[in-house]
Amino acid sequence: MRDPMATIDLFDDLDGDSNLHPAPRRSLALSGATPLNPDQKNFNRLIKQIEARRTQLADWNEAIPAFRQRYGRDLHPLLEQERALKAQLAEHLDWGFDQKGLTKTERHKLSALIIDLTLDVLGQGGPDAAMKALYNKHSRSDFDTEENAQLEQMKAMLEDTLGVALGDDLDLSSPESLLEKLRAQFEAKEQARAERTKRRKPSAKQQAKEAQREAEAKQVSQSIREVYRKLASVLHPDRESDPEERQRKTALMQKANEAYDRGALLELLELQLQLEHIDEAHLANLGGERLKHYIRILKDQVRELDSELQRTKQELAAEFGFPPYGRLSPDVLMARLRSDVAATEVQLRSLLQQIDGTSDVRSLKAWLKTVTLQRPSVPSFDLPF
């Protein structure tokens, strides 16, 4: 009696009426009443994980360009206005600071407000000599010196925590540069570790493990190669005389080649299924060592997809200044954008009111009474990973 597998629905992105394009929504596994063995359950679980991660990546690839376009159209101009109004308010408050009739406490409060505003402006854009001058005046320090000290402190913390040497040429103000440097450092450390391991004479146990790994890798490669060869024998476009079918087979062959180069077993199996070269007998007999090889390949594909998802979210967070440890998903991107647009519009109105409402010393003193200074927070470093 055969051991059927639980049904796993797959996406069929091929259209048409030829034998190359069977009916959609085919199943890669069988369904039945016989309980699955552990390997079959693991196989089905991995297929589900791969399909879920594929869907997530597709959602990200669709959402990010739309978000980037809407961000540039709707939010970025508002942020530029906000930066300009904050700079204008800082200069306006500095004018008030120099007027007669203010108490020492009121001047202290004005200096604190100006420092916060200039830091916001400098943090939102490039170099601004006027804002740096205001910051230096009211903080009685030097902005560039403080910034360099903070970057060096962050660099020392990273080197100590991660055990890497970042060098003196690193641009710590660029998240992309920092991530690239860290990747290079980790790769160099891993390569050095591998070289040290290679130079050491392995024990008999280590030699046996290495031989087993090589044998498994060879068997895994053989499993993928066998699936690919079956596809290639059917899809080779040179064997097709009909121009339309030759074009279709060329496209499918290209898809098979790409999947083979990436070791994407599931994509090759899906192509076989779509071409009806996986039948019920094949699936029913899928077991033993062949199934174990498939499971190893699929586990690697899950890890690769996880890495790609993580890299996608890291790059998005670095590009748009999202919190590095915040939860990001394609579903919330647009909602978050709308919320940020609304909040920025409120902030713009508030800044205009503050500028208009502090046009003379009397109104400035009245406004200062409504302002409560926040306690300085503990400095923190937002890392882009």
352: left (phi over 0), alpha (psi -120 to 50) or beta: alpha
Say if CB 8 and CB 44 are below 8 A apart: yes
The whole-number pLDDT of residue 197 equals 65
At 343 the pLDDT is 96
**pLDDT reported for residue 16:** 37
Percent of residues in the chain assigned helix, strand, coil, to nearest 5: 70, 0, 30
The predicted pLDDT at position 328 comes to 81
**From the CA atom positions of the chain, what is the Rg in Å?**
31
Type and span of the H or E element at 246: helix 243-261
Name the DSSP class of 374: P
Per-residue pLDDT of the chain (385 residues; tens, 9 = 90+): 333 333 333 333 333 333 444 334 344 553 444 677 788 788 788 888 888 888 999 999 999 999 999 999 999 999 999 999 999 999 999 999 999 999 999 999 999 999 999 999 998 876 789 999 999 999 999 998 988 888 788 777 777 776 767 666 666 666 566 667 667 776 777 777 767 666 666 666 666 666 666 655 566 667 677 777 777 777 776 667 778 777 877 888 888 888 888 777 767 777 765 665 554 455 555 567 777 777 877 888 888 889 889 888 888 888 888 876 667 888 888 999 999 999 999 999 999 999 998 889 999 999 999 988 876 544 444 444 4
Model pTM score:
0.63
Nearest to 179 by CA among 324, 330, 329: 324
Say what the pLDDT of residue 377 is. Answer: 47
DSSP 318-367: HHHT--TTS---HHHHHHHHHHHHHHHHHHHHHHHHHHHTTSSHHHHHHH
Q: What is the pLDDT of residue 109?
A: 93
Q: How many CB atoms lie within 10 A of CB 51?
A: 17
Q: How high is the pLDDT of residue 107?
A: 94
3-state secondary structure of 134: helix
C-alpha 245/C-alpha 251 separation (Å) is: 10
CA nearest neighbour of 282 among 4, 95, 1: 4
pLDDT of residue 2: 33
Find out whether 317 and 324 touch, Cβ atoms under 8 Å.
yes
Of 278, 260, 229, 252, give the one whose Cα is nearest residue 14: 252
Number of C-beta neighbours around residue 301 at 10 A: 21
Tally of CB atoms within 10 A around 47: 24
Query: What's residue 381's pLDDT?
Result: 44
